[in-house]
Amino acid sequence: MSKERVQIFDTTLRDGEQVPGCKLNTKQKLTIAKRLDELGVDVIEAGFPISSPGDFNSVVEIAKLVQNASVCGLTRANKKDIEVAAESLKMAKKPRIHTGIGTSESHIKYKFNSTPEKIIERAIDAVRYAKSFVEDIEFYAEDAGRTDNEYLARVCEEVIKAGATVLNIPDTTGYCLPEEYGAKIKYLKENVKGIEKVTISCHCHNDLGLATANSIAGVQHGARQIECTINGIGERAGNTALEEVVMILKQHPYLNLVTGIDTTLLYSTSQLVQQKMGIIVQPNKAVVGDNAFAHSSGIHQDGVIKNRETYEIMDPADVGVSQSSIVLTARSGRAALAYRAKNLGYELTKDELDVLYPEFLNFADLHKEVNDEGIHQLMEECKINFSK
């Protein structure tokens, strides 16, 4: 069975940059955009051009720079936003306008003080107007996660007729369960006329820690684009993490879904975004966290030393991490100590290890981690004549 391609839509520079304290200047955004293009993302959402002159300028410069990916600008469903976005994307090789409106009951009632019928009219007008500037129009039904499926299907059908090429179904508030989100995508696939002409996109937020699971449920039910950010940064608890969805699809080949991402650039891209945005990646972050390939308990270390696959489901080299690490702590066993000592040139006999190991445990109880220096120190203190 041939593999189907899932488009990766990166919104690090738009939804990701909405994180408080994350503001980037144009130069920093250009550095990230260049890296995203090398990484192989299909779409770079470069910003929200009407939001500020700085953001407009960044989108203009990114549009000029990017060689491979489509460059996208966000708008609300109004003429001015769309005109400004179209202007900012003029130099893009592949421009996309991302326009839309809230479709859930609470958005219609509280945000717009409007009615479902009027919202559909605004959605149609926005898509038609955007289409008069560029061919590629993505429509977002904001808060689709909490929107009634029947109404959502009507909105989708109308915007497809108006010219939308991509339908974004955001779980804006991160509320859905994976089954529910997957069922929503399935419902749209089965009930929207013309849906086969467009790409369905997942845009999931992480308020309940389900953004990645929901995005995967979405593609399992027919979506073919995932919107995500590097390190999962974004509003509140963030967006779907790019590195997670990409590696899930890679590590589960039976899903028959592939992306165009060069996964060996994932770790360095994560580091670049961490550095430019100043948002520290948590050590236990899946795929790119400092501990993602670090083993510290004795049982795990023993297994990994015998064969990496006992406790690793990914090859660190596949994400650009040079090797897994065996971290020495008071939970480490003899195998790990012998392994780390050997890497430092100390070939230990069983008797030598019998002497060293209890001393190591005493030392480790006083330290969070025993580093190379600590191992050398222990060797000295044990005063055994180690062959080096």
Write out the residues near ligand KIV by the rule CB under 6 A: 15, 140, 142, 168, 170, 172, 203, 205
In this complex, which beta carbon is closest to Zn ion, that of residue 86 or of residue 211?
211
Partner interacting with residue 140 (select from ligand KIV, Zn ion, none; CB below 5-8 Å by kind): ligand KIV
Q: Work out the angle at residue 164's Cα, subtended by the Cα atoms of residues 15 and 109, and round it to the nearest 5 degrees.
A: 65
Residue 15 lies near Zn ion (rule: CB under 5 A): yes
Minimum distance from residue 205 beta carbon to Zn ion (Å): 6
Comparing CB distances to ligand KIV, the nearer of 45 and 243 is 45
- Cα torsion for 46, 49, 55, 57, to the nearest 10°? 90
Tokens of 83: 């005109």
* Residues with Cβ within 8 Å of residue 75, at least 6 apart in sequence: 48, 49, 50, 81, 82, 84, 85, 97, 98, 99, 126, 130
Rounded Cα gap, residues 73 and 55, in angstroms? 10
- Give kind and range of the element (H or E) at residue 141: strand 136-142
User: Minimal CB distance to Zn ion: which residue?
Assistant: 15
- What is the spatial distance between Cα 301 and Cα 218, in angstroms, rounded to a whole number? 36
SS (HEC) of 74-114: ECCCCHHHHHHHHHHCCCCCCEEEEEEEECCHHHHHHHCCC
* Interface region with Zn ion, contact rule CB under 5 A, candidates 11-19, 79-87, 116-124, 291-299: 11-19
Determine the angle formed by the axes of helices 211-220 and 178-191, rounding to 10 degrees: 30
Residue closer to ligand KIV (CB basis): 112 or 386: 112
Least CB distance from residue 177 to ligand KIV, whole Å? 17
Shortest spacing between CB 140 and ligand KIV, in angstroms: 4
**Residue 143 engages Zn ion in binding (rule: CB under 5 A):** no
Closest approach of Zn ion to the CB of residue 203, in Å: 6
The token pair at 281 is 């990646």
User: Looking at beta carbons only, is 218 or 316 nearer to Zn ion?
Assistant: 218
Query: In terms of CB distance, is 214 or 301 closer to ligand KIV?
Result: 214
Quick one: 77 or 304, whose CB is closer to ligand KIV?
77
142 binds, among ligand KIV, Zn ion, none (CB under 5 to 8 A by kind): ligand KIV
Q: Is 243 in the site for Zn ion (CB under 5 A)?
A: no
Reference 290, options 318, 238, 325, 262; nearest CA is: 325
Asked if 171 is part of the footprint of Zn ion (rule: CB under 5 A), the reply reads no
Q: Is 136 in the site for Zn ion (CB under 5 A)?
A: no
Q: Give least dist CB 170 to ligand KIV, A.
A: 3
Q: Enumerate binding residues for Zn ion (CB under 5 A).
A: 15
